Amino acid sequence: MVFRVVACAAIVLSTLSLGVSSAGAQSTDPRFFSQTGFRVDTDPFWDFFQHRGGVRTFGYPVSRQFKLDGFPVQIFQREVMQQWPDGSVHTLNLLDSGLLPYTRINGSTFPAPDPSIVSATPTPNDPDYATKIVQFVQDQAPDMFNGEAVNYNQTFTTTVTSQDSPDAPASVLPLFDLDIWGAPTSKPAIDPNNNNFIYQRFQRGIMHYDKNCGCTQGLLLADYLKAVMTGKNLPADLAAQVQGSKYFQQYAPGKPGSVARPSDLPGSDLSSAFDQEQPQAGATASTSPSGSPQTSGNFAYGFQVHMWDINQQAKGFVVGDVKQAGFNWIKEQINWDAIETAAGQYDWSELDSIVNADVGAGLNVMLSVEEAPSFYRSPSSGLMPSDPSKFQQFMQTIATRYAGKVKAYELWNEENLAREAGASNIDPTTYLPLLKAGHDGTKAGDPNAITFLGALSPTGATTPGVSMDDLAYLKALYALNNGEAKNYFDVLGAHLSGFSNPPDCMPSTPQCSLSGGWNNDPSFFAFYRLGQYHDAMTQAGDDAKKIWLTEFGYDSSTAAVPGYEYSTYVTEDAQARYLVQAFTLARQTAYIGGVMVWNLNYQAVVPQTDEKWGFSVLRPDWSARPAFTALASMPKA
């Protein structure tokens, strides 16, 4: 998937005017989160954040501290912190009748509060409250429901761990969990519009079990309170329910206290509540914050990013976000013709800036190289050079320049498509000599660099002059000259997509497609297709090599881009869940060595009418979509 920037500098400057600071500053100000552009300013909130699970529990801050209903509060993606007059910090009962008592949000239908459960909840003035409330949660939040391991009680009791609060007695941890979730207010219930989803309502959150992945997690609900207050990013179904809410569109900069209707919201001052902040120089944490789980072992956690022709500050955002997510690889696709501007003449300025930013952040770098300069092409060579030795020369030059900095090179991109190879070159016989040239050149420049077979696009169809079925292409490539291609790459790259199918969905279960389509060919099922790739490698005697998903993602967008209409069926929450599930499956598959999420930040550089927009896990203003938060919170061990 290639993107050449048009007027990118203007686009980035417009997003930067929002006041988000360089993500690179994260390391100098641990309280600042570049993903959203907000800090945890006050010590009581910061201490509570650190000792209740950090980002894993709360998500990122999406507001400053401000006064709401007489109390200092700060909104995070999952929770709202509130400081009481005695100085103690608690979380709001987010789903109480005065805040978000709704049952339909962003296409999902949740159970309403059950009066019989609410009335049976132990009260804090009971002398045995601590014992009774823990037992009440155990009784009301089951681990099994309708034969499904929903693990609601397990999720509750493992929210705050002894690692989060090492000085707290074990007997107190269940009450810390209660601080986060509140008490159950409903029984588990199946979403009437999706039988794969089971929800249970608590006072401060909703647990969501997904049959497709067998996983349970909390929904990012507090972000919707911000949406209600500002009127921005407000789902249509929620907007229809909040018209009478005292919080609806109350944020009004320019009015006293930035409150639109002060009589409805006494004791509130929303001034600058949602104005993004800057990191503070020299800021330190009293103890280590609970941040993103870091990588270990040899598995590659990566993002495909866009850094070409964006300014240095934006480049800092990119590397800071990759690091904040706990990922260890970064992939950039480059056009050969943007570097070699005339035969033997190179402009390294932009790529030097990118590589130096990546390496300076301690990231492993992969470059995907394609699109030969026009002066090396012929009428019949398409986007490839007519003489493969020119590619060998270029790869040797680039690998020499970045030896020890760039760890891996992907040798072309989706060469089974006319738009990437040229209509006359959709044939393994034209790619094999290019692959050999690229591999030999890379190894001559940097013997330690890893070479990747140019990943194929999951077409599932052979259309003359347009595309060749990816699996057929791979098998045909292996068949040439008794498997000669085996000698010219270290790892097989794969560009597969989730389409509208959960990661564990198979051709034998097409009904699992969220859209009801994009389910009639094996190429629509990423992990099944990977198995077919591996079978082809085994048949060719090449199964000792790993496969990396050098592009993998889910397109979630309300814009039905032609060919990508399935994106309208993939909610942001589904995108988040399925990406995490995909990593789990990948780690469990011995022949998969890494996953590069497609993509990190393309919303900052393309319009929503471009299909790349929906795959992005960051928003145009560089704030996190739910997928980024889920990936950052995902264990990396």
List Cβ neighbours of 389 (8 Å cut-off, separation of 6 or more).
Answer: 437
pLDDT tier at 287, thresholds 50, 70, 90:
very low
pLDDT of residue 282: 59
3-state secondary structure of 48: helix
Q: What is the pLDDT of residues 409-424, one digit of tens each?
A: 999 999 999 999 988 8
Cα–chain-centroid distance for residue 337? 30
List Cβ neighbours of 495 (8 Å cut-off, separation of 6 or more).
Answer: 1, 413, 414, 455, 456, 457, 458, 549, 550, 551, 552, 598
Cα–chain-centroid distance for residue 311? 23
Name the average pLDDT for the chain: 90
Report d(CA 5, CA 20) in Å as an integer: 22
Residue position matching structure tokens 């995070």: 76
Residue 580: C-alpha distances to residues 586, 630, 636 (Å): 10, 7, 11
Nearest partner of 620 among 192, 181, 13, judged by Cα:
13
Report d(CA 150, CA 57) in Å as an integer: 19
pTM: 0.61
pLDDT tier at 9, thresholds 50, 70, 90:
very low
Q: What is the CA radius of gyration of the chain?
A: 26
Contact 496, 458 (CB under 8 A): yes
pLDDT tier at 5, thresholds 50, 70, 90:
very low
Residue type, position 287, single letter: T
**Does 284 score more than 80 pLDDT?**
no
**Does 326 score more than 50 pLDDT?**
yes
Fold topology of 300-610:
TIM Barrel (3.20.20)
> What percentage of the chain exceeds 90 in pLDDT?
74
Report d(CA 439, CA 394) in Å as an integer: 11
Cis before 599 (ω within 30):
yes
Q: What is the pLDDT of residues 183-239, one digit of tens each?
A: 999 999 999 988 989 999 999 999 999 887 677 888 889 999 999 999 998 999 999
pLDDT of residue 16: 29
Report d(CA 545, CA 543) in Å as an integer: 5
Q: What are the two backbone dihedrals, phi and then psi, of residue 97, each rounded to the nearest 5 degrees?
A: -60, -25
Q: What is the pLDDT of residues 533-566, one digit of tens each?
A: 999 999 999 999 999 999 999 999 999 999 999 9
What average pLDDT does this structure show over 367-373? 96
**Does 10 score more than 80 pLDDT?**
no
pLDDT of residue 28: 64
pLDDT of residue 330: 97
Classify strands 71-75 and 80-83 as parallel, antiparallel or unpaired.
antiparallel
Nearest partner of 113 among 92, 146, 135, 140, judged by Cα:
140
pLDDT of residue 26: 40
Contact 216, 235 (CB under 8 A): no
What average pLDDT does this structure show over 258-265? 96
Residue 284: C-alpha distances to residues 78, 281, 317 (Å): 24, 9, 20
Beta strand residue intervals within 543-589, DSSP E: 547-553
Count of CA atoms in the C-beta half-sphere (13 A) of 74: 24
pLDDT of residue 131: 92
pLDDT tier at 314, thresholds 50, 70, 90:
confident
Nearest partner of 579 among 545, 612, 556, judged by Cα:
556
> Interhelix angle for 129-140 vs 173-181, to 10°?
60
Q: What is the pLDDT of residues 576-615, one digit of tens each?
A: 999 999 999 999 999 999 999 999 999 989 999 999 999 9
Classify strands 345-346 and 340-342 as parallel, antiparallel or unpaired.
antiparallel
List Cβ neighbours of 282 (8 Å cut-off, separation of 6 or more).
Answer: 28
Q: What is the pLDDT of residues 428-467, one digit of tens each?
A: 999 999 999 999 999 999 999 999 999 999 998 899 989 9
Contact 301, 18 (CB under 8 A): no
Report d(CA 153, CA 174) in Å as an integer: 11
Q: Which residues pair with 71 in a beta bridge?
A: 68
**Does 381 score more than 50 pLDDT?**
yes
pLDDT tier at 281, thresholds 50, 70, 90:
low
Report d(CA 580, CA 596) in Å as an integer: 12
Contact 329, 594 (CB under 8 A): yes
3-state secondary structure of 292: coil
Nearest partner of 103 among 243, 241, 209, judged by Cα:
241
Q: Where are the domains of the chain?
A: 101-220, 300-610
Determine the length of the chain. 637
pLDDT tier at 60, thresholds 50, 70, 90:
confident
Report d(CA 450, CA 249) in Å as an integer: 53
Residue position matching structure tokens 């100000």: 29
Residue position matching structure tokens 């008592």: 101
pLDDT of residue 544: 95
pLDDT tier at 107, thresholds 50, 70, 90:
confident
pLDDT of residue 297: 60
In the chain, what is the straight-line distance between the N-terminal and C-terminal CA atoms, in Å? 29
pLDDT of residue 288: 34
Contact 478, 536 (CB under 8 A): yes
pLDDT of residue 2: 37
The sheet carrying 80-83 orders its strands as 66-68, 71-75, 80-83, 89-91
Residue type, position 406, single letter: V
What average pLDDT does this structure show over 483-499? 97
pLDDT of residue 12: 29
Residue position matching structure tokens 């207050």: 229
pLDDT of residue 424: 81
Tokens of 501: 């199918």
